[in-house]
Every structure is written in structure tokens, then in C-alpha cells.
Structure 1
Amino acid sequence: MFNLDALDLARIQFAFTVSFHIIFPAITIGLASFLAVLEGCWLKTSNQVYKDLYHFWSKLFAVNFGMGVVSGLVMAYEFGTNWARFSDFAGSITGPLLTYEVLTAFFLEAGFLGVMLFGWDRVGRRLHFFATIMVAIGTLISMFWILSSNSWMQTPQGIEIVDGRVAPVDWFKIVFNPSFPYRLMHMALAAFLSTAFFVGASAAWHLLRGNNTPQIRTMLSMAMWMILVATPVQIAVGDAHGLNTLEHQPAKIAAIEGHWDNTPGEPSPLVLFGLPDMQAETTRYSLEVPYLGSLILTHSLDKQIPALKSFAKEDRPNSTIIFWSFRVMAGLGMLMLLCAVAALVLRRNGALYRNRVFLWLALLMGPSGLIALLAGWFTTEIGRQPWVVYGLLRTTQAASNHGAVQMSVTLALFVVIYFSVFTVGIGYMMRLVRKGPNAADALHTVDATARRPLSAAD
């Protein structure tokens, strides 16, 4: 397929499946916490608006949760089928960490999900609220273990190599490896922002169509408050994460910046735009800002950031890709901050729900959180290359012994099946959004048996 070898096809296949998958857990994490907040507000204020919104978003949560579970199962099999050598080398670490996720998060979610979705009139208010909180906590615990496993692959510690395999020595160091706290916070905030922009865009769409109900206004208001709080924190966490990456994965930073050479005694510039050329070892058409690279990445004007030419060619990540994926993420982050500030100004002026320019901005920014999330994962995963376990196992050493024909067939099947199944699921979620909370809640109040996730849209 396109003159790609089996290793390239295995990487593309995993990238394709994980890119589809990560969208759903991100929304699941954000919506679970959003639902807990909505139910808590309803219990405190008895305001029917919060209850209506809970019933509406719980249906989208259920559909999204199901697609996340299904898409995640595939990757567990891929570890064994496509990356058997990696599993053999590092399975003593990744296996237990993923098992802990199942034993804690998945069982917690599964145990309370039924009560949360179907127990509204069957259990007491406090018990139902407790179930919602447990589901929300379960999603966060799941993220904890997944990020711990992935972060260990980025910054491995607490292990020793015995007979060519990883052996755990200190599980505390393994779980709380150097990059884990930063990546955990970065992912959690990304999930909350992705969900907030999804909710905000849904509200903006209805307001632009004249559906100016208390439920819709509350959706937009709560989304914009979350964006206002989370975006500056995310920028600060991203900065701290960058410093951590500079310490532990300097080649990744050099590739992100498209920075090839350092002039002795001079601070490093920041390359705003350009076209990194891995063969020519230069960034063509670069637009640079003197001193700014050192200031942002080292917080000083006398330190230099690493240059790509200081690393062996076989140890360099592909700057051509992550140079731009990082800038997509960072650029969207700045637009998010602009959206948050604009919402605050309009709120103070009493025009948040009627300014059509802002509503169009909020609508267009709907997918921005997920796009930034994917761009960030592309940056961190491609930036780890050529390593699967950084500094210990190369990608070329991790793949199973499959042929290009086998990988081509399975990749083509994945593309067809994923687009067939998940396009339908996502399209169904969009139909729910178009109906809005009033229509969904009407079904809930009329028929006690119509609280299935698929009952909310024709």
C-alpha cells in the first residue's frame, strides 16, 4: 500500500484507531463531571433547568460512552497482534497498569452507570447523585492509569532490564514517572475544554436559530465559565509540561521548534512558521523572533534550547509533522483564550446570548478542543519517535513480524468499519444536539420507559 512497509502500516493503523478512540473518552470525562455538577446544582437549587439539562446530556453521555468502550477494545488487541515485541519487552509494566485501570475505573463506572442512566425515579436523590459522582470519578481514575502507562513510555523509570525484558523495581516511581503529573493535568484540562466547547457550540447553534430558552442560555453560560477558568490554567500547565519535556526529551523540543543550529553565546530564536526539511537539515522559509525561544522554553535569555543537529540522525523525531501539530494546538489555545475573554466582556455588557458574531465564533470553535487534543497527542507521540519506550526500545524493534499485505488488508478494513460505525454514532449524537434539551426532556417526562439513549431521536 503506497510503497509503505509493514512497520509504517502498523504505525498508521494504531494512529488511526487511537485517534478515533481518544475523541470519545475526552468527551466522556468532561460530560461525566458536567453531569455531576448539573445534578448537584439541581439538588441545591431545585431549579428545573438543571434537571432538564441533566436528562438531555446524559443521553449523549451514554452514546458517547458506548462508542468509547468499543473503540478502546481494538487497541488492546493491537498490542498483541501488531506490537508483540513491545508487549514481550514492556508487558510487565503496561499489563499491570492497564489491569489496575479495569479493576478500579471500569468496574466503578460499570457498577454505577446503570443507576445513573436508568435509576432517576427508582432510587433516592442522594443515591442517584452518588452514582453520578462515582461514574465521574471512574472516568478520571481511568485517565489516571492510561496516562501513567503512556507517560512511563515517555519517561521510563523504576525498572531494570533482565534478560532483555523490563522488570519492575519501584512501582511508585513507575506510576509517578517524571512526565506523568504534567501530562495528567494537561489531558484532564483538554477533556474539560473539549466538552465545554462542545456544549457551548450546541447552545450557540440553538441561540442562532432563535431557541433562546433558559436551558440553552444555561448551557452557554456554564460552558463559557469553564472555558474562562480552564484555558489560562491549561496554558500554564502546558508551559510546565514543556519545561519537563526539555529536561527529559530534548530532541522532541528541538523538533517541535524546528531548531537545527545554535550560535555560540547567543540565545535561541523562536521559529514562528517554516517548513522543516529533515533531509536538508534546515527549516525553510522560517520566520524567527530573536531571543524568544530561550525566553519561552528556558525562562531565561542566556540559555539555549537543544538543536536538532546535536542529535544523531537516527534519534531525531520527524520535525516536519510535529512542528505544525504543535502550532495547531498552541494556535487553537490562543483562540480559546480569545473566546473566553470575549464571553466575559459580553456577559458584563449583558449581550452574551444575543451577539451573533460571538455566537458564530462559539459555534465554529465547537470542534476546536478535540482538534487541539488530537494535535497535542500527535505532537507527543510522534515526538517520542524513534522510540516506543524512550531510550530503551526503538519502534523498529517493537513491531510484530507481519507482512505488508496483512497490514494493508487490516488497515483498509479498519478504515471502512470505523467510518461506517462511528460516523453513524457521531451523526446520531448530532441529531440529539439538534433536538435540544427541551425535546429530549419531553420524552423523559412523558414515558418512563423511553429513557434509553436511543429513544431521544427518531
Structure 2
Amino acid sequence: MQDMALMLARIQFGFTVSFHIIFPAITIGLASYLAVLEGCWLKTRNPVFKQLYTFWSRIFALNFGMGVVSGLVMAYEFGTNWSEFSTFAGSITGPLLTYEVLTAFFLEAGFLGVMLFGWKRVGEQLHFFATLMVAIGTLISATWILASNSWMQTPAGYEIVDGRVVPTDWLEIIFNPSFPYRLVHMGLAAFLSTALMVGASAAWHLLKGRDSKAIRTMLAMAMGMLLITAPLQMLAGDMHGLNTLEHQPAKVAAMEGHWRNEGEGEGVPLLLFGWPDNDAEVTRYAVGIPRLGSLILTHSWSGTFKGLSEFPADERPNAAAVFWSFRVMIALGLLMFVLGAWGIWAWRRGTLYTNRSLLRFALLMGPSGLVALLAGWFTTELGRQPWVVYGLMKTADAASPHKVTELTISLVLFVLVYLVIFGTGIRYLLRLINRGPDRDGETIQSTVRPVLPPNTDQGV
């Protein structure tokens, strides 16, 4: 029964975090996008940029509100479902989350009203300053949250006194070994998610035959951002992987489906597909490329690293879950690069706004940034198991002593309430995107035959 209670507590927290992480990712990317749009408008006075700013600021405000609400639930869960963890590590995670509220949240909230409602009440420069402060606030918020989570992955700057963690060096705590890599990786993921959402929105309108300067600007900016950000994300991911191999080798072994060292000089293959069998300690139906795993992870043709079988059985993550969530993230990342490269190629040929295959692909890829973000989060968090604070405290020791009945009822209520509240919010968000920024604006005679019903409100 205790194992079932632990599983329910983990599912409940995973469910609420999965909902929450989507909204901050969008707000981080949209806040910076809005700052770029307003900066372009101030420099060029092109009304298209202000039109797009007005449109996307409404979507930003909706996401910001849903992010705040979903984040509050998580804060309470630390005390209700994970009280033992809070007792053990609260002296570090508590202050870090408090710093996030005192710096980032107050900064965002203080300037959000000016940003959303101040166009006719303050000067242009002050309004732009407010937009910049909101954008900076979202990045500061991500910094504190990731500092806390990264410390749980690679703890540093502490000592244990009377069974509790006591901070000894806050700089080491904040700038722990995995923090820089995870911060960059998350920031780029937010920008990618936003670019894909903006690009899908533009593709949706073009496929419906609704063509305008604003829609074209959205698509061109999204494709350019993808082409820049996707390769940077690959580079950041490679560096993050090397850092993880150093500090959490069991997680990397699970990501690679690698169970034991190969023979000397043989190197480690990169498994493209397969099914890790935790009981048999083998990856079944494996399809791989010889030595490529060594080249990527050790930057050596014959390098090797620990397999899962070399770790105690009770200190291994679920290899199948980590293996496949990692591959979903990687596959979507490669498709993002393909989309960006295809978009720029089409732009150079003058067919960016008329190539229906490209537009359909951009529309299909719309949610892929958020899916990849969730897959990456699953890889990170499931790969850390069975530890809640890596090497210091196991997840089984962190949970509150709740009964299965209590956790089942609360989980069902969470699912129902979240589906109603956030389902309504997401539906409204899709209707805003479907309405578009240019219904009353200047249109361009489109050469794309509409392939979607012109009057549907189904959203993207």
C-alpha cells in the first residue's frame, strides 16, 4: 500500500507540473517576442509590428494568468504531499523560491499592467521599458526555479546537520554544476516553443486563404528564429549531456539504453530504437549505429561509460521511460531544424507564403515545442529517480504519510478541475489565435488556395 501511495503522489505532482510547465515556457518566449516587436515598431514605425504586439499580448496575458494559478498549486504540494522533503531540504529550496517571488514575480506583476493597458497612458519609451521589464522578469523567474531544481539534480554548497540540509555557500548552491546548462537548455526550449506556436498560427491563417503583411511577418520571424535556435539547442543539449554523464551517469545509461561496458576498444553504439527490459537488463529489438554513442558522449571513437548494470538495482531509473522520452525530444528537435531550414530555403525562393506542404508541416509542428519540452522534463526527472535530491534523499523517503484513498480522491479532483479550468483557458487561447491579428487589416491577394474551412472556430 505504501508503494501505491508513493506512486499516486508522484503521478499527482507529475500531472500538475506537466500542466504548469507549459504556461511559463510560453510566457518566457512570448515576453521576449513582444519586446522584439515593440522595439521593431519604435525603430521602423511599421504598423504591422504594433498590430502583432497587440494580438500576441492578449495571448501572453492569458498564459501568464494560467501559469500563476497552476504554479500556486505546486507550491502547496511541497507541503501537503512532500513534507519530508520540505523538512530535509526546505532550508535551500524555500529561500530560492522566495527569491523568485521577491525579484521576478514582483517585477513582472509591477510592469504587467503598464505593458497591457498603458499604450495611451504612458509615453512610448516608458511602455517599451515596461515590456522589457516583464521579459526580463520571466527570465529571472526561470533562473531561480532552475537553480532550485538543478540543486536537486546536482547538490552543492551544503552540509547535513541532524538529518537536514544546511546551506554553507549560496553561490555554490545557485551555480551548482548542472545549473548553467539547464538554464540555457530551458531558455532555448521556451524560444523554440514560442516560434513554433507563432509559425503554426501564421500557417493556419495562410492555409485558410487569409493573407496579410502581419501574417507574413509572423511566419518569416518564426522561421528565422527556428533556424537560429534549433542548432543552438543541439549544441546546448550536447554540453548538457556531457555534464549529466559526469554527475548523473545512471541517467545517461538509461537515456542510451546501455546496460554494460562493451569490449575494450569496441566503443558504444548509439541505439536509435529498442525496448529496455529492466528485469532482464537488456535492450530488446535494438537498432543502433556502432561507436556513435561513444563519439557523442565521450567525443572519442572508442570511449565508453558505465552501463546500468554497474549501478545497484535500487539506484537505477526506469530505463524504458527515460529511453523513449529522450528519443521523442531528440526526434522533435531534428524536425524543428528541418522546418527552419525548409522555411528559409522557401523564403529565398519566394515561396515561403505559398508552399502548402511547408505550411501544413509548420501547422503540424505547432505543439511540438511543448511536447519536446515535456519529453525533456520527463527525461530529466524520471532519470533522476529513485532520488529526489540526487545521492542524498530518495523519493520514497520524501513523501508525506498519506493513505491511498486520500491520494486517489485528490488526484481525481485535480484531473477534473484542471480539465475544466485549463481546458476552457486553452480553448479560448485557440479561439484568439484563430481570430488572428489582421481580420480588419490590409490583406494581400493570396496565391494559396484555401485548404481549411474559412469560417471555422476550431483553432490551431
TM range (shorter): over 0.9
Q: 2:18 is aligned with what amino acid?
A: S
Q: Distance in 2 between matches of 1:31 and 1:96?
A: 28
Q: Distance in 2 between matches of 1:86 and 1:355?
A: 53
Give how far 1:302 is off.
2.5
Check the 8 A contact 1:204/1:362 in 2, yes or no. Answer: yes
SS in 1 for 2:176: coil
SS in 2 for 1:72: helix
Q: Distance in 2 between matches of 1:4 and 1:424?
A: 34
Q: Distance in 2 between matches of 1:214 and 1:288?
A: 47
Match of 1:268 in 2: 268
Match of 1:449 in 2: none
Q: Distance in 1 between matches of 2:84 and 2:97?
A: 18
Q: 2:5 is aligned with what amino acid?
A: A
Match of 1:165 in 2: 164
- Unpaired runs of at least 5, structure 2: 443-458
Q: 2:343 is aligned with what amino acid?
A: A
Give how far 1:56 is off.
0.4
SS in 2 for 1:402: coil
SS in 2 for 1:283: strand
Match of 1:234 in 2: 233
Match of 1:300 in 2: 300
SS in 2 for 1:5: helix
Give how far 1:4 is off.
6.5
Match of 1:189 in 2: 188
Deviations, residues 259-297 of structure 1 (Å, cap 9, x unaligned):
112123021111110011101111111112111110111
Check the 8 A contact 2:257/2:276 in 1, yes or no. Answer: yes
Give how far 1:168 is off.
0.3
Q: 1:409 is aligned with what amino acid?
A: I
Matches within 5 A, 1:29-44: 29-44=28-43
Q: 2:371 is aligned with what amino acid?
A: I
SS in 2 for 1:178: coil
SS in 2 for 1:373: helix
Matches within 5 A, 1:22-171: 22-171=21-170
Q: Distance in 2 between matches of 1:177 and 1:441?
A: 50
SS in 2 for 1:280: coil
Q: TM-score normalized by structure 1?
A: 0.95
Q: 2:386 is aligned with what amino acid?
A: P
Cα–Cα, structure 1 residues 121 and 439, in superposed 2: closer, same or farther, change >3 Å?
farther
SS in 1 for 2:301: coil
Q: Distance in 2 between matches of 1:408 and 1:281?
A: 32
Give how far 1:441 is off.
8.2
Deviations, residues 77-134 of structure 1 (Å, cap 9, x unaligned):
0000000000000000000000000000000001000000011111000000000000
Deviations, residues 226-272 of structure 1 (Å, cap 9, x unaligned):
11100000000000000000000000000111111212302111111
Match of 1:282 in 2: 282
Match of 1:199 in 2: 198
Q: 2:191 is aligned with what amino acid?
A: F
Q: Distance in 1 between matches of 2:326 and 2:79?
A: 30
Cα–Cα, structure 1 residues 225 and 94, in superposed 2: closer, same or farther, change >3 Å?
same
Deviations, residues 28-52 of structure 1 (Å, cap 9, x unaligned):
0000000000000000000000000
SS in 1 for 2:220: helix
Match of 1:386 in 2: 386
Q: Distance in 2 between matches of 1:5 and 1:256?
A: 26
Q: Distance in 2 between matches of 1:259 and 1:39?
A: 49
Give how far 1:143 is off.
0.2
Percent identity of paired positions between Structure 1 and Structure 2:
68
Give how far 1:440 is off.
8.3
Q: Distance in 2 between matches of 1:303 and 1:60?
A: 48
Q: Distance in 2 between matches of 1:17 and 1:381?
A: 14
Q: Distance in 1 between matches of 2:272 and 2:351?
A: 35
Match of 2:4 in 1: 5
Check the 8 A contact 1:101/1:145 in 2, yes or no. Answer: yes
1:417 equivalent in alignment to 2:414: no
Q: TM-score normalized by structure 2?
A: 0.95
Deviations, residues 286-331 of structure 1 (Å, cap 9, x unaligned):
1121111101111102310220100010010101101000000000
Matches within 5 A, 1:339-354: 339-354=339-354
Check the 8 A contact 2:203/2:362 in 1, yes or no. Answer: yes
Give how far 1:438 is off.
2.2
Check the 8 A contact 2:152/2:388 in 1, yes or no. Answer: yes
Q: 1:197 is aligned with what amino acid?
A: L
SS in 2 for 1:438: coil
Match of 2:174 in 1: 175
Q: Distance in 1 between matches of 2:216 and 2:438?
A: 12
SS in 1 for 2:165: strand
